[in-house]
Structure 1
């Protein structure tokens, strides 16, 4: 039975769960975005950093003053301004002091603030800190009403909403952070370049992205390195506010006696921990993934010095470094996501030009506020000076009023037409000040203030004067951080470089000689060294088996195996089973059916070409590079006609100019090699015509040198037929009986 609906208890809100959850999550998300994770485009700071610097300023931790314990600073921050954990606040403070994290550190730390190896800083009870000149420049104007203030979280104090200084902190020091549904990642840049671009924007506020890049060449990381992206890629990144930069370590070659050399790393990419980098390089060596590298040593002190020792002096330094760039963080990618809070506290992705223009616009607001503040101060001082002048001109009467009247303030106001502030100031004067209160000094100061007041009034009323003043002020800051200064000198080089090359197999595998043998039944093995191919160790087979192919090779070679079906398979010589025992079935390494015979096994040599032909007498020339396939299924090269099969796979002699073909009908034909086409796949053309039988063998040779073949028996002698004019004909002819003594198996041998 249904019950009547009951009203919720007083104080309990009845609402759908999904809407209540979404509303509360939205509040959390906005809080994270605007009050924690994203920097403000105007000063480049997050609230925690701003509060840290503000607290240090109130503690008078100027560069000229002594250090104070970081525990004191962290205590003030979390107690007055930032209601979060002490460790998170201290971690933020540590980063502001790390010279390898910030391009222009805002905190001058004393003690262990961590290192580039990845070691953590000491606890805050052991470390001390004070502000740097950069932080002072960033906060310049806080005493001149340059920015607004707001109440702290408990309402007991005030804190600035942002910093007004002329230092372009957002782009100079960069920023990173993860909010809810968005993130930011901004690389550091050179302050002098940014200020030059800002000065240009003062005169040309409509300047485009290309104009900005005439001053800003790219990121300037505190750890140096080389940005290797193309100018077009860099321009695209800055125009969209998204992308990334490829950063490589800086290295150089140090030559030693005898021709030996080492590669020395002097700068590593930004954000890479040196300890982990060296560990990764050592793992490459231990795992033999880069055999041309023999050793890595860390000889760093305050400066980075990582020494890389090659396996031998013949190693190509470019190949070695390309391998390290590919497999380690010696080349890393710094992602760009210029997501910031604009002047309305709205998060959005800006281009470099938009971010710099927003900062320049903020500086004009600061300039006007500081001017208005100074004008107010001048007005206050002029009011007092006018009162002092009246008191000086009527000094005896003023003294009499003070001595005789019960309410001297009101009497002076009435008699001399003074304001309340003027009268109060006169009454608060000390007697010893009267001797210095001379009319000349008062009028001099008054005239000086009148002149300054007139200039400031003109400044407020003229955009042109404001631009001139802005350029002058920006120029002074630029000179402080110019390229000739130690802090302002550019550290990162921007130089386009090609992507890392594919590392040759020789660099990945230790080159060693081996002897390869494949049996008639398809068992393959490789013995170390170049042993005699007819030795007892090489000729060891299972009962009923025997040799099919045997040759010398290197572990860096790729071996080509050709099946009768016209497919070619590639085997890595370094992956062959060892010479002990009988080896392993080669068909277990590739997808070759047991019913398909093996025609050839040979090393793939660079730019070599192969002569391939099927039993029906059709064939062609194919480049070796076009038959290499890395998959188990191999690569189809020859497509024999029905009933035919691949029977010939022979390397083409580089000097060869003729082809010799022989059929099982014992007919031989010689024709020019130029009549044979070069193809990558297919059936080819007719080498020799047969009425009965099929092609038995074919080879290439130098016509002027004649044709040689091995004589029977164990003599090892060969026979050469120097004059082959009787067998010379056009391609596709039937041929004639071979010379006397030609092998009875109709094979050219070799």
Structure 2
């Protein structure tokens, strides 16, 4: 009855600091993620989900030479028996094991749509079928011979292997990637032949140097091929530390079309790059004219990759064209290496190439010893039975008589012939048809063979050198199955050093044409062909209207100065055409919503500009200091910017919101690359309204109503030192306090 009583919260509540409670629980979660989900085991190179998939398929008897089974059945068995997580995640993991463009040595043989290099997802699990691949057989060879430990599954009804025997270094052969809590791993695939050669060298020379092993394992060998462009020193250092990156490029060739025409054909793309997105990117580069020497891109791929790139003209250097595309597309990527793995399935560690190989070899030795001991037990049991058979054969008539006449023949046979319970059970369970095979010569031959085998196993277990020799023989057998003697085992990724290609002058390839740049009040920008009248009537979106207009050319770099004090750079040839309403400027550059565009002008080398803030501070900046290389722009003026004017003449005229004007020499302003600047004019209230550069002898001009212009030639009344208060502006000066 006490079990049915309600629980008293006060008696069953334990007080604990929040920080400790959260810390302990988060640590438990982190350890679970690291050990049971995200990081592979250094011994078999598998995460738990992959190991459980392969083991469940083995339990379903899906041998490489057997029948296929529905993927839904496999996924259901894995989820119900071993991996209590989402079926979608399990199926995705299994599908990846079957993708020959993702796995260097696929572990699952798939039938149906398992996705493609374009990035399309596999078909639903009810439509596809699968079975184990040959490589999986090698990973699980000896699993039934007590070669590894087993543990209860999640509900204790079944057992599953802690690790697979793994006849080859799958961690390096197929690679791995994963993100845990506070750590991650990323290991590229490698060539199995080279990895086994490195293992054999490490067996022969246990204290081998990392550089020697890195010389045997030349570098990653991706299933999609490509070219790794890194120096041998860089690759060796990466394998020595377990951290680094490889630059991977597409493989291409120049195809002659006759009459001097040619095109580039890309036959292999970098690992994990989706072909469809790569082609979309290349098409975008053509549309935005970022690579003006590229005319067209076509996808002519069937089973093999074939991407055709057409140059703008035959005078283009193909190496320079590809060098330009490497910088702005995924025709070149950086594949990071971070060999963070679980040592003995428990301790996460960033390992060098040598440490990973050593962990695998130590595991293979343990597997060898356990399989040998298991075989010795089986031999001992069989020898015991054979001894019983031999005694029974020598006394066959008496044994048959006892069995026919006695009520309890077992006890009598044991007592009369001195046999064990196991031997007598074997004799009694023997079928009559086996008596014709029960010949002394055959029994003795089998016994002698078993004794010889036992002697060999015991000798091997007593000699460490013999153990490593046996491991080396096993590795050579696997190498013969999957190595370079087979078409699948040949190296696919070329290792080379990057060649220095002279950078191409993109601006020189742009056809020079006049443009009229239009920026609306709401920030929509477009470029109309030709130099149109700047005051021409144009169509704008509802609620929008004309803002800024200027003449430029397609070869110009367009500078945009905003109220946040940043300069943004846009290529004029990349602006949207004038047929539509344009595109928002804020989509082309990272211009904050609160920042307003102050001025737009074409960049000119060697020019200088006066920049000033609303507070009345400013300085002169050179054109080379305002060019921005990224969309985020370049910060030049600190504070809320007001204006940007080209520098000319010998004096500066400034006017404040209080309508006081001051003229001072231009050389009183400093030249700076970035900063707040110096005080231009002193104010009691308000701030700066406008500023302009002028030549003192020419006077100061400003527009009047009716299209007329007025010039004040004598500016002596307003001359002074920088940071002075100034005097009231001349009679007739515009009411908006603007010089232009």
Q: Same fold (TM over 0.5)?
A: yes
CA–CA distance in structure 1, aligned partners of residues 318 and 62 of structure 2:
50
CA–CA distance in structure 1, aligned partners of residues 123 and 333 of structure 2:
28
CA–CA distance in structure 2, aligned partners of residues 499 and 40 of structure 1:
40
SS in 1 for 2:88: helix
Which residue of the partner structure matches residue 343 of structure 2?
A: 342
Most deviating of 344-353 and 174-183: 344-353
SS in 2 for 1:136: helix
Aligned: 1:165 with 2:166: yes
1:318-333 aligned at under 5 Å gives the runs 318-333=319-334
Alignment check: 8 A CA contact 2:342 2:348 kept: yes
Change over 3 Å in CA distance of 1:13–1:409 after alignment to 2:
same
Listed as ranges, the gaps of 5+ residues in structure 1 are 1-6, 517-525, 532-536, 539-552, 560-569, 579-583, 595-625, 636-643, 646-750
Change over 3 Å in CA distance of 1:159–1:574 after alignment to 2:
closer
CA–CA distance in structure 1, aligned partners of residues 515 and 110 of structure 2:
64
> 1:637-660, CA deviations, whole angstroms, 9 ceiling, x for partnerless residues?
xxxxxxx99xxxxxxxxxxxxxxx
- CA RMSD of superposed structures (Å): 3.4
> 1:543-574, CA deviations, whole angstroms, 9 ceiling, x for partnerless residues?
xxxxxxxxxx9965899xxxxxxxxxx99997
Structure ID, larger Rg? 1
CA–CA distance in structure 1, aligned partners of residues 625 and 254 of structure 2:
37
SS in 1 for 2:333: strand
1:33-432 aligned at under 5 Å gives the runs 33-343=34-344, 345-432=346-433
Change over 3 Å in CA distance of 1:370–1:527 after alignment to 2:
closer
Aligned: 1:510 with 2:543: no
Most deviating of 12-21 and 186-195: 12-21
Alignment check: 8 A CA contact 1:55 1:77 kept: yes
Most deviating of 247-256 and 12-21: 12-21
Alignment check: 8 A CA contact 1:511 1:554 kept: no
Alignment check: 8 A CA contact 1:325 1:500 kept: no
> 1:662-684, CA deviations, whole angstroms, 9 ceiling, x for partnerless residues?
xxxxxxxxxxxxxxxxxxxxxxx
Alignment check: 8 A CA contact 2:608 2:623 kept: no
Listed as ranges, the gaps of 5+ residues in structure 2 are 1-7, 517-526, 534-551, 559-568, 578-598, 612-621, 629-633, 637-648, 651-740
Change over 3 Å in CA distance of 1:214–1:487 after alignment to 2:
same
Change over 3 Å in CA distance of 1:627–1:114 after alignment to 2:
closer
Aligned residue-pair number: 559
SS in 1 for 2:118: coil
Q: State the 1:97 CA deviation.
A: 0.3
Change over 3 Å in CA distance of 1:413–1:214 after alignment to 2:
same
Alignment check: 8 A CA contact 2:242 2:353 kept: yes
Change over 3 Å in CA distance of 1:310–1:24 after alignment to 2:
same
SS in 2 for 1:264: strand
Q: State the 1:506 CA deviation.
A: 3.1
Change over 3 Å in CA distance of 1:461–1:309 after alignment to 2:
same
CA–CA distance in structure 2, aligned partners of residues 448 and 136 of structure 1:
28
SS in 2 for 1:252: strand
CA–CA distance in structure 1, aligned partners of residues 468 and 91 of structure 2:
40
> 1:428-481, CA deviations, whole angstroms, 9 ceiling, x for partnerless residues?
001111111011110010011111111111000011111221111111111112
Q: Residue 592 of structure 1: which of 584, 609, 634 is its match?
A: 609
Change over 3 Å in CA distance of 1:558–1:105 after alignment to 2:
closer
1:349-748 aligned at under 5 Å gives the runs 349-498=350-499, 502-506=503-507, 510-512=510-512, 556=555, 591-592=608-609, 631=627
Which residue of the partner structure matches residue 30 of structure 1?
A: 31
Q: State the 1:513 CA deviation.
A: 6.2
Change over 3 Å in CA distance of 1:19–1:65 after alignment to 2:
same
CA–CA distance in structure 2, aligned partners of residues 336 and 498 of structure 1:
23
Most deviating of 100-109 and 368-377: 368-377
CA–CA distance in structure 2, aligned partners of residues 145 and 230 of structure 1:
45
Alignment check: 8 A CA contact 1:8 1:14 kept: no
SS in 1 for 2:308: strand
CA–CA distance in structure 1, aligned partners of residues 603 and 386 of structure 2:
104
TM-score when normalising by structure 1: 0.70
Q: State the 1:214 CA deviation.
A: 2.2
Most deviating of 185-194 and 137-146: 137-146
